[in-house]
Amino acid sequence: MAFLKGDVDTALLRLRSYVRNYKNEQNYHNALFKIATIHYSRQEFDSAGYYYGLASKDNRLQRDALRNQIICYKKSQNWQRAINAAWDILPLISIEEEAEIRFELGYAYLRDGKGGEAIKHLKRAVESVSTPEHLYWLAEAYLSKADFIRSLYQYQKIVHQFPHDEMWTPTAQYKSGIVLEFMDQFDESKKIYKQLINTRGLGDTWGAEAQKRLEKME
């Protein structure tokens, strides 16, 4: 009741007392889940992830607890623990849900500096659900391995398949210009930057960044 009334400190004290004294009670893991949620609300993400991990030992809470654990460790940038949580949940989910977890695995591997592993899982995510976000991070994974051709291909898929996406498409277009610079295809790179400037204007973040790249090249 204290938690519902907004008295979070009292609620946390009572929940901790409960889990210390009633480990064999039916609501033990529910209490752990609530402790995790309080830590999450305070942006104490590593602590929240720890308690979600304990709560996941109850089969009734396992999927939700592990999903939340992935979110916590992403927020704290604890990539290895995010990877572990994603592997733990994979056997528990349906085929329809697998793309989401493969994406989380690939993203965490990429942020952990393991581009090769990232590519494996991000490719599987893209094969199941080809969203701009999935394509973008697959492109980034290829770029991390200096595989410019495959990276450029994925960026351009976003531009052509999702022309009206306001987040990923201009970002992918700009990154296409960067990759073309890496490949010494400067004329093609300039074309992309000029197109960004023409379509978005210099008042837009990506238009302004494209202008900076052009000025450096001239």
Report H helices in the chain: 8-21, 28-41, 45-55, 62-75, 79-89, 95-111, 115-128, 132-144, 148-161, 168-182, 186-200, 205-217
Cite the residue boundaries of each domain of the chain with CATH code 1.25.40.10.
1-92, 115-218
pLDDT digits (tens, 9 = 90+) for 68-99: 999 999 999 999 999 999 999 999 999 889 99
Tokens of 60: 């009734």
Q: Which CATH superfamily is domain 115-218 in?
A: Tetratricopeptide repeat domain (1.25.40.10)
Residue 2 has what pLDDT? 46
Q: What is the mean pLDDT of residues 91-120?
A: 96
Cut 0.85: pTM above it = yes
The residue behind tokens 């009633």 is: 22
Q: Tell me how crowded residue 199 is: count the other CB atoms within 10 A of its CB.
A: 13
The reported pLDDT for the residue numbered 6 is 54
Encode pLDDT of 153-178 as tens digits: 999 999 999 999 999 999 999 999 99
Cα dihedral sign, 50-54-56-61? negative
Assign a CATH topology to domain 1-92. 1.25.40
pLDDT (mean) for 129-139: 97
pLDDT for the residue 9: 85
